[in-house]
Amino acid sequence: MSFIEQIDPVGYSPTEHQVNFALCDMSQGRLASFGGNLIGPHCQYARTLPATFSIPPCEGLPDVSNRTQKIITDPCYWTPQLPYLYTFEGEMKLADGSEQSWSHTVGFRRWEVEGRNLRLERRRVVLRGVVVDESSVDLAAAHDAEVTLVVKEPSNSFLQQASECGVMVIADLYNVDTVLTPRLLSLAWHPSVALVLQNEIYGYLPPALIPGHRVHANAQLVPESIAHDWASVILVELNAGERPPAWLANTKKPVIVIRRGEDYADFTAARAACDRLQAELAPEFDLAGYFVTP
């Protein structure tokens, strides 16, 4: 692809969101300028009155990230209950005088790590969910059951649908052989992406993404190494009947557990299994998330 598209939606203040758009020309000077409009919000669960925000044009330079930005006042923030989205309609002028257009959907979240907690809209969130293959997922059922999905290398089309439906996704990019930076840039467009699991951080990690590190409970872990690890969230895999190591109860980062060997008929049953796992591990562990998988 000649052009690499990038967006960094960053909270600017309690009532404003700054959106940074970048378009990197990888074709030695084909791009003369780019700009466009941001239109929204729209939400499949609520009626909205869309507004149009003009994105200032940016003159193009080859082989660099050509950036422009816009502050959105009083945006409607994305949540699973009300997944508000905006559409960026971009326009490119090329050096030969021709024009190209494209569109992307994007959402704004107030989603963050605070100490040992995950927070959405400044409220503590405890995730519950399952490990799935995207090809077999009923997103409407996942939304109704209020589960978060761990998906191996999720496609952009799946994440687009998850963003529209209001389903949070943990993108598992462990042991991915492809170059990660373009993939991470594409993930930042989707507000459904709650966490990104990686072996370690490779290249540029957009500010909208929270990195997670997956470990096994029976691994020889050193508490100090986890505390100073590059990841913001620790995901611990448990075998059937296994408990996390005791010292994880006092880790200064959010910890999510995945219990293997849990069968369930549907997402509602899976959610109930997550609740049982939470009750089983309490009161020793008060974690940021509880997941199950067969």
Domain 3-106: top CATH class: mainly beta
Contacts of 225 (CB under 8 A, 6+ apart): none
Which pLDDT score is estimated for 219? 63
Which pLDDT score is estimated for 234? 92
Given a contact cutoff of 8 angstroms between Cβ atoms, the answer to whether 198 and 221 are in contact is no
Tokens linked to 147: 């589960």
pLDDT confidence bin for 1, thresholds 50/70/90: very low
Which pLDDT score is estimated for 67? 84
Spell out the domain ranges in the chain.
3-106, 112-293
pLDDT confidence bin for 239, thresholds 50/70/90: very high
Give the burial class of 246: count Cβ atoms within 10 A of its Cβ; 0-12 exposed, 13-18 middle, 19 or more buried.
exposed
Given a contact cutoff of 8 angstroms between Cβ atoms, the answer to whether 268 and 247 are in contact is no
Which pLDDT score is estimated for 177? 65
d(CA 137, CA 84): 22
Sheet holding 111-114, edge to edge: 111-114, 117-120, 123-125
Give 112-293's CATH code, choosing from 3.10.20.30, 3.40.630.10, 3.40.50.1970, 3.20.20.80: 3.20.20.80
